[in-house]
Each structure stands twice: as structure tokens, then as C-alpha cells.
Amino acid sequence: MSEYIAEHVPDGPRARTRNGVLRGALKDGVASFLGVPYAQAPVGALRFRAPEPAEAWDGVREATDFGPTAPKRPYAPPLDALLPDPEVAGDDCLNLNVWAPWPASQEGPDVGGRPVMVWIHGGSLKHGSSAVPVYDGTAFARDGVVLVSLNYRLGIEGFGVFPDAPTNLGLRDQIAALTWVRENIAAFGGDPDRVTVFGESAGAISIAALMASPLAKGLFRRAVMQSGVPSARSLDAARRTTEVMAARLKVPATAEAFARVDPERLLAAQTAVTGKGNPVLSGHAFHIAVDGDVLPDHPGDLLVDGASADVELLMGTNTDEYRLWFVPGGHTEKVGSVGQRLLLRKGRIPPDVAKVYRAGRPQEKPGEILGALAADKLLWMPLNMFADARVNTRGAAATYMYEFGWPSPVLDLRACHALELGFVFDTLDRPETRALTGPDAPRDLAAAMHAAWVSFAATGDPGWRRWDQARPVMTFGPGLPSLVEAPREAERRAWDV
């Protein structure tokens, strides 16, 4: 580990990074270092600016509490009861956490460093943080992985589009955090050449953008995309939410003007403008922008053309993604046959495709069929096409697909969006996880899914056949994990028009 050493001392584990010495906490052979700055606080002259490296400190810095979270508002009811979103006050929101097996040095096959996983949280680019209890990294460290989770700027602060500020600041933050990992993770026993990035929803969208970005080249070896696809907008389209907020605030759509607005008033305007939409029903939202810098082109086009073809990839979705957005708000009950037809037309879903879904789901209500169609158009179909493109790229690294299908009994959410998170992190015992899973989620399924993610990070193989023309998908529930070839093939083929 050269000059970057890890220490085990009576008053807590210590790690010497390039910025200084950290002191964390130790429990059952797992060390945690929380709230570690990877960049300077994005306030004052650094607000709406690209992240600057964190400053060094003297002495020992305590790292036993989560750092400040990015400015945000909690999820609106009723999702607030299902998706915990803690807030930690403070300006230094560009921080990360590390969980590591301790002591950091070891003997055996990983003597050169343990596999590293870097978690990028979701939340529609406006919610979430690394302090969410579901994302506790203890189980990964217990199983030999150095787990890193990070905060990045959200909402208008991270994804506003202004003529006088850099674009994609939230993505730039993620790149800065990955650079910190590259430079410092050996101090925690991690191998900087064996980094896997993984994320869910907006976190997975971010990972697709990182895979497409020349600025992130070489910062990771493997990637996991959970319920998210390559997605971005043109600068003009991505700027629209900024302009609507500016009109509401009655200020120019510039970073200079927004920086003068009281932060609480800014968050209130952001909530008012973006609060009525969701990923399925659309509405004003924040998007990653094709800016010619972080992203030279749409990430989908760049990835299909071979960007990051050397990165091993695991990706998939949940069977009933749409139910997180449709069921708590009653949309499955409110949408009738006429409303379904109108919304299908608005969503540009061909009638012939809808006909196949209706025939294959005779017991489902119009709102449920609408949700399934929208979710498949948004997630399942793009991931299938991306996987196919990777197979057809000469020399591309392996691609693996999964589907999470265990049905939660909570509110009849079934295998909804975000339900797999507690299984991946093996945190089913956390009350915050049980808000979505209920108290009796199958531990053996969590053990299997978590083990697959650990295996992928360590070896590049999660334990099943890589994607090929037979379309193998590992399904996690209901029941035991099983490999299924071409699930719901009639519905998938209906989109090939």
C-alpha cells in the first residue's frame, strides 16, 4: 500500500489517505469510515462550479458519522413512508463512506487488494443520499468487499443547465469521487484496479453516463445497472426545467441569479415544478445533458458504438417496476379503458403492442396493463436492446441480465421499483428496508442475490450464463433463483415493429 497505510489501534481503526489520517469505527471485523470529504463544499465561490479536490487536514479526522447530504426535500406522501430519505445538515455534502474488512491487510488470493464496489444512489436526480440505512455496507465488507457509497449534488444544484456554469455537476461529482477512490482506496485494503460501480434508478442512469463519458475512462472495471437505462437529453431539452423554475422564481435562468436565491426558496420552487411527475407518467424532471464535455453524445449511442465495451456489465429490472408509482397513489384503480387508450396514445405505445399485453394479462386492470407497458418501454426493452448490442460488439466483455420478481405484500406493491435494494445489500433486518418489504422477506433470496453481486465484483461472473442469443435471465423470486431463457418473449417481440 506504499505510503497509504491502514492502522489498527485501540481507539479505533485508522486509515492514512492523501488528505490526512481518518479514524473510523470497528464492529465485528468491519471498519466504517463515514462522511469523508472527496471534494470541497460546493458553496460560496464554488457553488454551481465543478468540484474541487478536498483540502488536506492536520491530525486525525473523526469519521464516525454520516456527512451532510445534498440539498433536497423528502419524498412526497405516500412515498415518504416507503422510501426513507434522511437529511444531514451542513455544507460539505461532497462526501463518501467506506466499509472495509479489518484489518485492511490480508493474506491469500486478495493480497494485492480486495474488490471494491462504489454505490451511486437513485432518487430521480433530486432525492436520496448515501446515508439511507438500506445502503449500509456492512454485509459487503463482511463478505470481503470494500464498499464505498457517495453523495453528489442533486436537483437544480447538480443538474440545472445554465449559460454561465458547467453542466452535469452531479456527474462531475461522481467522477471526482471515483478519482478519490482510485487514489485512496488502497488505504482501506481495496484494489484500485478492481472497482465495480453499481447503482439503481437514477444511479443506474448515472452509471450508463459514466460508461459513456471520456472523463470517467479507466476509473472502474465493472458496472451494475439496476432499474435504469442509458438516458440523457439535449442541452435545450435539459434546460427546460431550469427555465420553468426561473419563471416561477422571477429571476433570470442563470447560475449567478439562482445563487442569490435563498436555498429554502429554491428547494420550494424545485418541488413545485418537479413534484407532480414520476418516471412513468413524466412531467418536469432533471436530466443528464449531452453537453459535448462530460457527454459528447447520447450515452445510448456511445455505448452501442462500443464505449466501455471492455467493462463487464450486470443489469436488470424488477417484474412490477411501475407499482411503486401507480399503486400508492391509486393510479391502478383510477385508470379505466378510455383513460388507458388516451395515455397509450400520449406515450406513443403502438396499439398492437398493447393488444399483446392485454391478451397475456387477462386478469389485470387497465391501469396495471398501462403501467406494465410504460415500465417495459422505459426499462426492460432498452436494457434488452443494450445487451443485444453488447453481444454484437466484437471483443466486448461479458454482459449478464437479471430480473427481481419476489412480490412484496406491502400495499400489494409486488416486485416494484427499488424493492431489490434490501436484498442486494442484505439489509432485510433494517426497519427502513421493511417499510417496503414487510417483516417476512426471504433471507435465502437476499443471501443469493447479495452473493451474486459480491461474486461479480470479485470475478466478473455473478454465477450464471452470460447474455447470448438465447436471452438467459437469472430470476430472483418468487421461489428459488432460477435461470430463465427469454422471459415474456411474446411481449418483447411485440415491440419489434
Strand partners, 12: 9
For residues 241 and 273, the answer to whether their CB atoms sit within 8 Å is: yes
Report d(CA 263, CA 253) in Å as an integer. 16
Q: Which of 329, 402, 417 is nearest to 372 (CA)?
A: 417
Helix (H) or strand (E) holding 37: strand 30-37
Please tell me which residue in 308, 417, 420, 432 is annotated as part of the active site: 417
The C-alpha cell at 144 is 470481503
Compute the 3-state secondary structure of the chain and give helix, strand, coil in percent, each to the nearest 5. 35, 20, 45
Contacts for 250 with CB less than 8 Å, ≥ 6 apart: none
Which letter, b or e, does each residue of 242-279 get, where b requires 16 or more Cβ atoms within 10 Å of its Cβ? Answer: bebbbeebebebbbeebbebeeeebbebbbebbeeebb
Q: Which of 195, 196, 132, 121 is nearest to 158 (CA)?
A: 121
Please tell me which residue in 312, 321, 403, 432 is annotated as part of the active site: 321
Q: How many CB atoms lie within 10 A of CB 201?
A: 26
Which letter, b or e, does each residue of 23-36 get, where b requires 16 or more Cβ atoms within 10 Å of its Cβ? Answer: bbeeeeebbbbbbb
Q: Which of 195, 50, 48, 199 is nearest to 120 (CA)?
A: 199
Does 491 participate in catalysis according to the annotation? no
The C-alpha cell at 240 is 427546460
Report which DSSP code applies to 185.
Answer: G
Q: Where are the beta strands (DSSP E) in 334-382?
A: none
Contacts for 405 with CB less than 8 Å, ≥ 6 apart: 318, 319, 415, 475, 476, 477, 478
In the block, cell 451494475 appears at 224
Report d(CA 365, CA 313) in Å as an integer. 35
Report d(CA 415, CA 109) in Å as an integer. 37
Q: What sign for the dihedral angle of Cα 160, 164, 166, 170? A: negative
Does 121 participate in catalysis according to the annotation? no
Report d(CA 497, CA 264) in Å as an integer. 48
Does 450 participate in catalysis according to the annotation? no
Report which DSSP code applies to 239.
Answer: H
Please tell me which residue in 32, 124, 130, 201 is annotated as part of the active site: 201
The C-alpha cell at 71 is 440539498
Report d(CA 33, CA 14) in Å as an integer. 9
Positions annotated as catalytic residues are 201, 321, 417
